[in-house]
Amino acid sequence: MLLSKKQPSAAATQWIEKVKYHKNRDSYFKFLGNPHFRYTAFLLVFLSLWFLLQVFWFPPTKPTQTKFSTTTPKPSAGKCNGDVAVYVYNLPAEFNLGLLDDCSHLNVYTNMCPHVANHGLGQPLDNMDLQSSDSNPWFATHQFIAEMIFHARVDNHPCRTWDPSKANLFYVPFYGGLHVSSNFREPNHAIRDALAVRLVDFLQAQPTWRKNNGKDHFLALGRTSWDFMRTNSGPDFGANCLLNLPCVKNMSVLTVERNPWKGSNQHGIPYPSYFHPSTSDQMMTWQNMMRQSNRPYLFSFIGAPRKGVGKAAIRDEMIKQCMESTQCKILKCDHGNPKCYNPSEILKVMRESRFCLQAPGDSFTRRSTFDAILSGCIPVFFSRHTAYTQYSWFLPEEASKYSVYMDEQSEESKRIEEVLMKIPKEEVDTMRATVIDMIPRLTYAHPNASHSDLGFEDAVDVALQALAQHVRDKV
C-alpha cells in the first residue's frame, strides 16, 4: 500500500537510468568480444529464462532502492538499522523533565512553556500549505530545543535496549541547554555549575560507566558548545563548565554547534526546523513541492543587522548588497519584525529563492541553514564553520555539490549577485536536487511516529548510526 504510492525522485530516476545504461553497455561489449559464440548463445538462453523466472515468479520491485535511499522505505523499516543498541539512562528528574516544571524561567529572554510542549516540538502550526490526511507535521519549533526532541525520539526508537549489557551506546538525556540558559545571569560560578557537577557524580557511580570509562556514553545538547565551555579569560557570557569536566571529555557530545578547535569529542547535529513528519508520504509530498516550487528570486537574506564590528560587518554588507539588487528578497529582522517569527513567512521567502545567504550570527552556525535546505534553497556560506566543520555526519562530503562558499574576507563576498549569476542554470538545478535529497537526514521526525510508517532515516537515525560506528572505533 505504502510502497505503491512512492515515486522515485527525478534525480533518483536519472541515476537509475544511468546505471541501467552502463550495465547494458558493458554486457553488450563483452558479448561482442566473446569468441565462443555457442557458449554465449547458451548463456543468452539461460539468462532469458532466468529473466522470465524473475518476472513471473517475483513481483516487480519498485526501482527506488538506490543511493537516494533516504527517501525510500527500507525493507527493514520499523527495525533497528546499523548495529545500534542504545540504553537510555533513567536520570533523576532534576536533569530533564523536572526542569520543565519551571518552564517560564528556563530562558532569561523567552518564556519557554509554549516551546517545550509536545516533546519539544512546540505549538502546532496550522497555516502551512502541505495537504495531509495524516497528523499535522508542522510546529513552531524553538531553535535551541533539539535535546528534547532527540530524547523523545530515542525513547521511542527501535534501536533502544532496556538491557545495559546489550548496549553499545549509553544515552544520558540531560537537558543541559535548557538548564544553562536558565542560569546565564547567575554570577556565582559554583551555583551555575552545580547541576553539571551532580550529573557527573551520578554517572561515575554507575557500573555501566566504569566498564568503558564513559567512552560509550553520550549527551545531546540543543545549544552551542560555547554555552558549556566557560573560559577564565574573556568576558562571562553565562556559560557553565559542563563540557570541560574530565568525565564529559570521555563522552561524545552531540551539539548544534561544535567548537571546531577544542571539540574533538563534539559532533554537530542539525538545528530543528519546523517540519516533523510521521510518514514517508509526508516527507515525499513536501520534497516534491520543493522540486516544483517557483523561485523568482536569485537570492535572499533573512536576518537582523548586528551592532559592533567583526562578525557583524559581513551582515551589514549583505543587507546592503541585497537591498541594492533587484534579484534579492530581503526579510529584515530589526525592530522585532513579526514576519521573522512566523515560520510560514520565513519558508515562503526561502522557497521562492534559488540561493539563501547564511551569515554568521552570534556564533558560526544558524538554524536558518536548515530552514533553507528544508525549502530547497541552496545555502551560501561565508564561514567554513557555519556547516562544513560542523555536520560531517549529515552533509555530502563535497561542499560544492550542495552549497556555495564565499569567504567573508574574499573579494567575491563583495559581489554576491554577480558570483551567483555566473553559475550555469543546469548546475543550479543539480545542486538544488541534491539539497532536496538531503532533507530527510536533516529532519527530526515526529517522536510519536511509528517506525514502520516513517520509512526514511531522520537526523536521529543518522546520528545514532554514526555515533555507534565512532564508539566502536574508540572503545
Closer residue to ligand NAG (CB): 207 or 246: 246
**Is 301 in contact with 328 (CB distance < 8 Å)?**
yes
Q: Are strands 252-255 and 353-358 parallel, antiparallel or unpaired?
A: unpaired
Measured CA to CA, the distance from residue 287 to residue 441 in angstroms comes to 13
- Binding residue for ligand NAG (CB under 6 A) from 84, 96, 99, 119? 119
Nearer to ligand NAG by Cβ, of 214 and 455: the residue is: 214
* The three cell numbers locating residue 275: 517540519
Beta strands in 365-430 (DSSP E): 378-381, 404-405
Which one of the spans 9-17, 113-121, 256-264, 465-473 is the region binding ligand NAG (CB under 6 A)?
113-121
Amino acid at site 232: N
Nearest approach, Cβ of residue 96 and ligand NAG (Å): 17
Q: Around Cβ 422, how many Cβ atoms within 10 Å?
A: 9
CB of 392 vs ligand NAG, minimal distance in Å: 24
Q: Is 123 helix (H, G, I), strand (E, B) or coil?
A: strand
Distance CA 174, CA 181 (A): 14
246 interacts with ligand NAG by CB under 6 A: yes
Residue 123 binds to ligand NAG (criterion: CB under 6 A): no
Length of the chain counted residue by residue: 475
Site string for ligand NAG, 68-107 (x = CB under 6 A): ----------------------------------------
Cβ count within 10 A of residue 423: 15
Pick 247 or 442: Cβ nearer ligand NAG: 247
Closer of 246 and 338 to ligand NAG (Cβ): 246
**Helix 459-474 with 146-155: angle, nearest 10 deg:** 80
**Interatomic CA distance for residues 215 and 2, integer angstroms:** 40
Q: Which residues pair with 405 in a beta bridge?
A: 381
448 contacts ligand NAG (rule: CB under 6 A): yes
Binders of ligand NAG: how many residues, by CB under 6 A? 9
Q: How far is the CB of 247 from ligand NAG (least distance, A)?
A: 4
> Quick check: 278 binds ligand NAG (CB under 6 A)?
no
Looking at the Cβ atoms of 149 and 302, the one nearer to ligand NAG is 149
Judged by beta carbon, residue 250 or residue 443, the one nearer ligand NAG is 250
Give the nearest distance from C-beta 195 to ligand NAG in angstroms. Answer: 18
- Residue 379, judged by CB atoms within 10 A of its CB (0-12, 13-18, 19+), counts as buried
183-222 binders of ligand NAG (CB under 6 A): 213-214
Q: Does 121 bind ligand NAG (CB under 6 A)?
A: yes
Does position 247 interact with ligand NAG (CB under 6 A)? The reply is yes
Kind plus residue range of the DSSP H or E element containing 284: helix 280-292
CA 60 to chain centre: 33
CB of 141 to ligand NAG, least distance (A): 11
| Max Cα–Cα distance, the chain, nearest Å | 88
- For 250, residues 6+ apart whose C-beta sits below 8 A from its C-beta are 213, 214, 215, 217, 265
Shortest CB 101 distance to ligand NAG, Å: 18
Q: Is 137 in the site for ligand NAG (CB under 6 A)?
A: no
CB of 404 to ligand NAG, least distance (A): 36
**Minimum distance of ligand NAG from residue 214's CB (angstroms):** 5
Q: Which of residues 285-304 bind ligand NAG (CB under 6 A)?
A: none
Of the two residues 420 and 454, which places its CB atom closer to ligand NAG in the complex?
Answer: 454
If the CB atoms of residues 67 and 474 are measured against ligand NAG, the closer one turns out to be: 474
Q: Which is nearer to ligand NAG, 40 or 135 (CB)?
A: 135
Kindly write down the DSSP assignment for every residue of 319-347, as one continuous string: HHHHHH-TTEEEEE-GGG-GGGG-HHHHH
136 part of the interface to ligand NAG, by CB under 6 A: no
Binds ligand NAG by CB under 6 A, chosen from 118, 182, 285, 325: 118
Query: Is residue 279 involved in binding ligand NAG (CB under 6 A)?
Result: no
Q: Which of 114-122, 186-194, 366-374, 428-436 is the region at the interface with ligand NAG (rule: CB under 6 A)?
A: 114-122
Q: Centre a 10 Å sphere on the Cβ of residue 261 and count the other Cβ atoms it contains.
A: 8
Told to check if 250 binds ligand NAG by CB under 6 A, we report yes
Output the DSSP codes for 28-70.
Answer: HHHHHH-S-HHHHHHHHHHHHHHHHHHHHHSPPPPTT-STTGG
Q: Per-residue string for binding with ligand NAG, 141-170, x by CB under 6 A?
A: ------------------------------
When the beta carbons of 40 and 208 are compared against ligand NAG, the nearer one is 208
| Residue in 114, 149, 163, 144 with CA at minimum distance from that of residue 449 | 149
For residue 462, give every residue at least 6 positions away whose Cβ sits within 8 Å of its Cβ, in sequence order, or none. 393, 394, 441
Query: Which residues would be at the binding site for ligand NAG (CB under 6 A)?
Result: 118-119, 121, 213-214, 246-247, 250, 448
